[in-house]
């Protein structure tokens, strides 16, 4: 039976890798999700058949599987596209929490035996358990903070006095307590160790906001993967080792690429406190916002040769992606060349806008990344921006005092005319005023994107 279990874990690991590979392309992403799902089912079934699983454990496993499965099924059916980043943050956090929980049980069992934890579990197992526990706890606490900020239950960017000193102090305390746990024979240092690691996750994540949030979610996902990988070594489970390592490596690579796309180092993202400066929302602007009606906006696009659409989180909030695609199809019938431009950190999680457009049926060959399309704005008649803000703010290019200065943006201001659909006159998620809205070639259409685009559709139909 042991050989069958190990072979099942191996096959599950292969399915995880193939699934992740398939997810790299929207064309095969659905297939990749299915492969990874089959691999997870196989891994769970193999665990039930593990020789070490007794009847008492089997009952607890069935209860846990029932509760978790029912919760996941219900939330997956009910979640709105606007709440998808929050769900990703929560599920990612639960993965880190599970890894930390496994380590806690193992360490407490070691502490209950005679001698130190290291003597009971072995030095190597204890070290791996402590590393995985620390990473998993930070990922869990950080993900919960990310969820609270994305769900607007917590202020977006909050810096306490001497914040970085607190971070350094908590990091040192976590390491010191880990050394104590290694040589301890009681549960108290273990509890203090987890408390310090959880507090570190909270303090590191609280200051982060604005366009940095997708990067942080990707990093937390990578940390969860690494924590799971360490737990695989602790339990001798090859499926956890391979799956955790693959997720950790992929998450780290994605984090690096997104940080590079923003021209910001990961250290700066984690420890600078994006948009924490009080003057961030007080950027100097020239000119005034010029408002037009939905009909005027529709005519601007209908009589253009080339239109580029830039979606943002506001499109997801209004759930206007289906109406937007309807309008695009109408514009194409008028021989308008339409493309979509996606910034690497648009939305609230990696790939948020790609998922949104795919849901509406937008063909993948119409969607272009920033590097692919930035040079085309100069030859574009009209740019339509729906709900995007920081990723199109010229201040990132022109204002050295701006918190987002140096972040690569979509060069929408280089187009002949810019049309911005926005709910109100407020600043974006980072709290930085957008200079684009005051440019001579920019026109504003205020209102809910769903209603605005629906009215534009009716106008285009009559052209």
Q: Is 56 a domain residue?
A: no
In CATH, what number is assigned to the domain containing residue 300?
Answer: 3.40.50.1220
Residue 155, both tokens? 């202020």
Report how far residue 109's alpha carbon sits from residue 208's, in angstroms, rounded to the nearest whole number: 37
Name the pLDDT band for 271 (thresholds 50, 70, 90): low
User: Which pLDDT does position 210 carry in this prediction?
Assistant: 63
User: Which pLDDT does position 327 carry in this prediction?
Assistant: 96
Backbone angles phi, psi at 298, to 5 degrees: -65, -40
Q: How many domains does the chain have?
A: 2
Let me know whether 286 and 267 are in one domain.
no
What average pLDDT does range 342-358 have in this prediction?
Answer: 83
Burial (0-12, 13-18, 19+ Cβ within 10 Å), 66: exposed
Let me know whether 337 and 288 are in one domain.
yes
Select the highest-mean-pLDDT range: 165-169, 181-185, 384-388.
Answer: 384-388
Closest-CA residue to 370 (of 409, 403, 400, 416):
409
Domain that holds residue 259: 79-272
What average pLDDT does range 13-26 have in this prediction?
Answer: 85
Let me know whether 319 and 445 are in one domain.
yes
pLDDT tens digits for range 91-150: 999 999 999 998 998 888 888 777 788 888 888 888 988 999 999 999 999 999 988 888
Q: Is 285 a domain residue?
A: yes
Q: Is 1 a domain residue?
A: no
pLDDT tens digits for range 180-218: 999 887 788 999 999 999 999 998 888 876 667 788 888
151 belongs to the catalytic site: no
Mean pLDDT of the chain: 85
What average pLDDT does range 311-339 have in this prediction?
Answer: 92
pLDDT tens digits for range 404-462: 788 889 999 999 999 999 887 665 555 678 889 999 999 999 988 999 999 999 999 98
How many CA atoms lie less than 13 Å away from 36 in the CB half-sphere? 19
Let me know whether 246 and 317 are in one domain.
no
Residue 385, both tokens? 């921006």
Token pair 């934890």 in the structure block, residue: 117
Options 335, 365, 381, 390, the catalytic residue: 390
């Amino acid at each position: 039976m042991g050989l069958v279990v190990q072979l099942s874990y191996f096959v599950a690991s292969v399915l995880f890798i193939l699934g992740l590979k398939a997810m790299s392309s929207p064309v095969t992403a659905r297939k990749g999700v299915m492969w990874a799902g089959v691999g997870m089912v196989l891994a769970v079934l193999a665990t039930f058949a593990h020789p070490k699983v007794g009847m008492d454990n089997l009952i607890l496993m069935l209860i846990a599987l029932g509760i978790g499965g029912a919760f996941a099924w219900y939330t997956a059916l009910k979640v709105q596209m606007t709440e998808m980043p929050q769900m990703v943050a929560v599920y990612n956090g639960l993965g880190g929490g599970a890894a930390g929980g496994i380590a806690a049980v193992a360490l407490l069992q070691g502490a209950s035996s005679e001698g130190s934890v290291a003597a009971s579990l072995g030095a190597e197992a204890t070290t791996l358990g402590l590393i995985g526990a620390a990473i998993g706890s930070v990922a869990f606490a950080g993900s919960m903070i990310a969820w609270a900020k994305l769900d607007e239950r917590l202020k977006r960017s909050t810096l306490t006095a001497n914040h970085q000193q607190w971070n350094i102090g908590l990091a040192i305390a976590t390491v010191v307590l880990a050394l104590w746990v290694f040589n301890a024979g009681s549960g108290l240092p273990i509890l203090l160790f987890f408390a310090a690691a959880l507090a570190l996750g909270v303090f590191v994540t609280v200051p982060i906001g604005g366009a940095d949030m997708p990067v942080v979610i990707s990093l937390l996902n990578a940390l969860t993967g690494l924590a799971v990988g360490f737990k695989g070594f602790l339990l001798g489970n090859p499926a956890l080792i391979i799956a955790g390592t693959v997720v950790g490596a992929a998450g780290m690579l994605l984090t690096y690429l997104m940080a590079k796309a923003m021209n910001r180092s990961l250290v700066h993202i984690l420890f600078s406190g994006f948009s924490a400066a009080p003057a961030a929302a007080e950027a100097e602007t020239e000119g005034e916002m010029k408002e037009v009606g939905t009909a005027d906006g529709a005519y601007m696009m209908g009589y253009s040769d080339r239109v580029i659409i830039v979606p943002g989180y506001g499109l997801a909030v209004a759930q206007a992606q289906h109406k937007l695609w309807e309008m695009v199809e109408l514009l194409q019938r008028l021989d308008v060349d339409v493309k979509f431009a996606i910034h690497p950190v648009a939305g609230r999680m990696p790939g948020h806008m790609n998922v949104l457009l795919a849901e509406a049926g937008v063909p993948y060959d119409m969607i272009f990344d920033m590097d692919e399309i930035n040079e085309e704005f100069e030859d574009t008649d009209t740019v339509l921006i729906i709900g995007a803000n920081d990723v199109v703010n010229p201040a990132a290019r022109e204002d050295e005092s701006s918190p987002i200065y140096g972040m690569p943006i979509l060069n929408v201001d280089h187009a002949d005319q810019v049309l911005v659909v926005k709910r109100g006159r407020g600043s974006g998620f980072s709290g930085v005023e957008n200079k684009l809205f005051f440019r001579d070639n920019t026109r504003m259409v205020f209102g809910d994107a769903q209603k605005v685009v629906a009215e534009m559709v009716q106008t285009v139909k009559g052209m």
